[in-house]
Amino acid sequence: MVNLADIIKNLVELWAKENNRSITIDIDRLKKQEDVATKLYNTFTNSKSGTITFLVAPTGFGKTEALVAPFLYQWFNDSEWFSSRLFLVEPTHAILSQIFKRIKVYLRGLGIPEKYVGEDHGDVTQPTFLYTAPITLTTVDSYAYGYLAKRVNVWEEKGSITGRYTMPVGLQVNSLTIFDEAHLIQDEVFLAPRVIAKIIANLVCAGAHVVFSTATLAEALRTIIEEEVKRACGVNANNIIVDTSRKIDIVLNLEKNLSHEDIECEGGTLVVVNSVLKAQTIYRDLKNKCKDMEVYLVHSLMTKGDREELIKKLSEKERKEEKLRDVILVGTQSVEVGIDFSFIKLYTELSPIDSLIQRLGRIGRFNQGKAVALIFNEGSHPYNDKLVKETRKTLQDSHRKTIDIDIGNVDSISNLVNKVYVRDIVEEMSKEGDMLYSKTLEYMSNLYLLASPPEEKPYVKPSFYVSIYITKYNDIKEELGRNLIEDSILARGLIRYSIPETTVSDKANAKINRLLNIIRNALEAGCILYDIKDRKDGNLLLYKVSDDAEKIRNRLLYSGSLVIACKDVSTIYNDCGLRIEESRAEISLHTRKRRSRG
């Protein structure tokens, strides 16, 4: 009879084979993975009510196999199923895409039909509103908006809008939900943790099983969720802690700003900085300096197609060589999770301790020998100043230039994280998001089963995304006076541009102005602006929009999407990604007549 250890071993071997990695099963790790899976399975099957579990395990432990094994195990035993569905909730689209491919490999190898896994989020062509498949991968936003009746199927009936407002909630209550990389739920004003805590409390009280999986969850974030569930229905959280050992040697250069001159031309090197502009600069400088190396760049202002192509290219290199011997990868915080490659050496700017630990987790993952990290002054960064200062203070406690951190030791990592995320800082951060949280609580208090949702807007995060599509003139076809483009072509040019809510941060105007500056450059180069009107038979119908400055600003804020079509896209986008400049205080767009595509 198949047991949990057999399934986990199978999953590890299937994924290693898929990536052409030689695999020797680590018996000690396998036992720990089996122990985690067994505890989870017993928790779900022995409970007559909903459950909430926190799994804290270091990066590189193999959490994915241990987390999904209990659900997959139900196919191979005769016991009653504890949940008929699994929601894997990922913090970013990049991670979701990779995990989706991974689950398909698992199912195919276990003889379970691949159609039993699907994805539902803002980027899918046909949204299914969380009832895609027995195993559905989604994002934090989509999962929350499903519960909040804002991501549901609606239609007009007898002159009124109606919809399946309660369908997602029914599925969530009867499912196992796993929040992967749960520490990334956290935001700069602790809004998402508070909203998710409210949602999860209601689901657990109704019978749902929920797991938060993380390597660096701050006690403050955990407490918000744990206390909300206990207050709602008295359910106590379960804790599963896994310890391993993976020491990283760290050299502190906190008095110095990182530049390309500090970086040696060695393969297996990862460089992480805190801004896109800095990443682009270092990438260009290293391309000139390290002629014998293959230098790559990844950040949030690159198109979906280019990011996917990079992952594919690195995967192929790793398949052939097993190690990225001649690769230097430069990136921003987007490499902290979801980049399933291991490097030997890390150069990084200082960032909040949990972010820093995630960066450290990208090196020395596959027994490549001793890993080394060099940490430099933070320079320009998008982070809370007090978090960065506390992190600096914590790292300098020993008054030594060289230290080591065991990122496999959960107690050690938790102590570091909790030294930075002290109550005073968390409370100060939370105050900035209180207005948005209050609006969401009011919305939730007026949300009822079998009824239309309130008209007000709930907030899950203190920011929103604008979908910018970069494409070529030639990709757009004119048919019967209509402008059409293939969905798959446009999707490759997607850039998700984050803008803070104006009620939370003064950074909103600066970020909008930076984007307007890019659009101005595009218009001056002869590019044309479109928006998406309709979708049919794999094509998107586009319509030309005004290039008036105020109308563009309003479109970005309220429509949330814009297509930029250029004869030569290099005027706004090149091998470094979106061409950005430092934001200006005042930016104006020149409105002028230009040739129309209809």
Band of residue 258 on the pLDDT scale cut at 50, 70, 90: very high
Mean pLDDT in the chain? 88
Q: At what angle do helices 423-431 and 385-395 cross, to 10 degrees?
A: 160
Q: Do the beta carbons of residue 191 and residue 155 sit within 8 Å? A: no
Helices and strands, counts by H and E, the chain? 18, 25
- Model confidence, pTM: 0.89
Cβ partners under 8 Å of residue 190, min gap 6: 220, 221, 224, 426, 429, 430, 433
Match 């110095």 to its residue by tokens: 256
Neighbouring-strand partners of residue 163: 154
User: CA 433 to CA 592: how far, in whole Å?
Assistant: 41
591: which DSSP letter? P
Whether the predicted pLDDT of 99 surpasses 60: yes
Delimit the domains of the chain by residue range. Answer: 4-241, 247-407, 463-578
- The DSSP H or E segment spanning 32 is helix 27-46
Band of residue 121 on the pLDDT scale cut at 50, 70, 90: confident
Which pLDDT does position 196 carry in this prediction? 97
| Tokens read off for 484 | 């059409």
Whether the predicted pLDDT of 589 surpasses 60: no
pLDDT in tens, 321-345: 656 889 999 999 888 876 778 899 9
| Tokens read off for 70 | 């209990």
User: CA 450 to CA 466: how far, in whole Å?
Assistant: 32
Which pLDDT does position 583 carry in this prediction? 36
User: CA 103 to CA 135: how far, in whole Å?
Assistant: 9
Which pLDDT does position 547 carry in this prediction? 87
pLDDT in tens, 182-230: 998 999 899 999 999 999 999 999 999 999 999 888 898 999 999 999 9
Q: Do the beta carbons of residue 502 and residue 559 sit within 8 Å? A: no
pLDDT in tens, 351-374: 999 999 989 988 887 655 568 899
pLDDT in tens, 483-522: 999 999 999 999 999 888 864 456 777 888 888 999 999 9
Same fold across 4-241 and 247-407? yes
Helix (H, G, I), strand (E, B) or coil at 554: helix
Q: What percent of the chain has pLDDT over 90?
A: 60
Topology (CATH) of 4-241: Rossmann fold (3.40.50)
52-66, 205-219, 273-287, 333-347: least confidently modelled range: 333-347
| Tokens read off for 90 | 């990922």
36-45, 197-206, 302-311: least confidently modelled range: 302-311
194-203, 433-442, 465-474, 478-487: least confidently modelled range: 478-487
- Give the dihedral sign, CA 124/130/132/135: positive
Neighbouring-strand partners of residue 542: 483, 532
Cβ partners under 8 Å of residue 8, min gap 6: 30, 33, 34, 37, 62, 65, 66, 69
Whether the predicted pLDDT of 348 surpasses 90: yes
| Tokens read off for 377 | 């002054």
Average pLDDT (235-239) is 96
Residue type present at position 307: R
53-62, 560-569, 584-593: least confidently modelled range: 584-593
Identify which has the larger pLDDT, 319 or 261: 261
Residue type present at position 334: S
pLDDT in tens, 154-176: 777 777 777 777 888 999 999 99
Average pLDDT (241-255) is 91
15-24, 207-216, 230-239, 524-533: least confidently modelled range: 15-24
Band of residue 107 on the pLDDT scale cut at 50, 70, 90: very high
Whether the predicted pLDDT of 586 surpasses 90: no
Q: Please give the distance of CA 528 from its chain centroid, rounded to a whole number.
A: 31
Topology (CATH) of 247-407: Rossmann fold (3.40.50)
Q: How far apart are the first and last CA of the chain?
A: 66
Identify which has the larger pLDDT, 212 or 592: 212
Which pLDDT does position 369 carry in this prediction? 56
Which pLDDT does position 501 carry in this prediction? 82
**DSSP letters spanning 372-409:** EEEEEE--S-SS-HHHHHHHHHHHTTT--SEEEEETT-
Identify which has the larger pLDDT, 127 or 186: 186
Which pLDDT does position 502 carry in this prediction? 64
Neighbours of 292 (CB within 10 A): 7
Whether the predicted pLDDT of 593 surpasses 60: no
User: CA 285 to CA 283: how far, in whole Å?
Assistant: 5
Which pLDDT does position 111 carry in this prediction? 95
